[in-house]
Amino acid sequence: MGKRYSIYFDSRKIVIANQVDIRFYGNGLIIKYDEPVELVKLLDFFHSSDFLRNLFIYGDDTDSIFNVLRKHYKVVEAAGGLVRNSKGDFLLIRRNDFWDLPKGKGDKDETSEETALREVEEECGISQLRIEKPLTTTFHIYFEGEKRILKVTDWFAMSYLGNETLVPQVNENITEAIWVERDNINKYLNGTYSSVKDVFKAAGVESA
């Protein structure tokens, strides 16, 4: 049995799953996977449509369906961290007017763990970080001109034991870097991306 994939495109998404529960997924186009050529047509329709919010594709082997899908995008590997300090507070950044988590593209010959640590250091100005465990992988589609990009981001739970001042990386459009108490995290999650909510969910922290 393959896993479920949620692939975000702005406020829209493509979901690949073993089965569809209409009551859970809500409105969208629901299609049973048949063959690769049909998937290509579906992707073209999804990207050219102004009204189709969600595309749900179901089939027995979700890993195989996803591997067919990714062949039609340029894949960019990235990594990031969900960081907690010694008080149990979460590290958030504000980028392009949205609350987000530190993340970025991997450098050549860099492991996902190395990328995640480097990106948190660069985007928030702190260094005493330790990876605790892998959390999840998120998927996001965007365009560079006419080129379709699929960003695959590996996320890690991290701990921070230092007391350095947070310094947002302004040349990456980050205007704030803050620590948020666990009890206050929901109000920030309500103003962020669905993929970021998925990271918190993987860590056992869900928005209200």
pLDDT above 90 as % of the chain = 75
Residues in the chain: 208
Tell me: pLDDT of 196 over 60. Answer: yes
Beta-carbon count within 10 A of 3 CB:
11
Give this prediction's pTM.
0.92
For the chain, list the domains and their CATH numbers.
Answer: 5-70 (no CATH), 75-202 (3.90.79.10)
* 76-121: pLDDT as tens digits: 999 999 999 999 999 999 998 899 999 999 998 999 999 999 999 9
Tell me: pLDDT of 24 over 90. Answer: no
pLDDT at 8 (0 to 100): 95
- 157 closest CA partner among 203, 111, 94: 203
pLDDT at 208 (0 to 100): 47
- At residue 2 the predicted structure's pLDDT band, cuts being 50, 70 and 90, is low
- Rounded to whole angstroms, how far apart are CA atoms 88 and 186? 15
CB 208 within 8 A of CB 186: yes
Instruction: For the chain, give the mean pLDDT.
Output: 91
CB 122 within 8 A of CB 95: no
pLDDT at 52 (0 to 100): 86
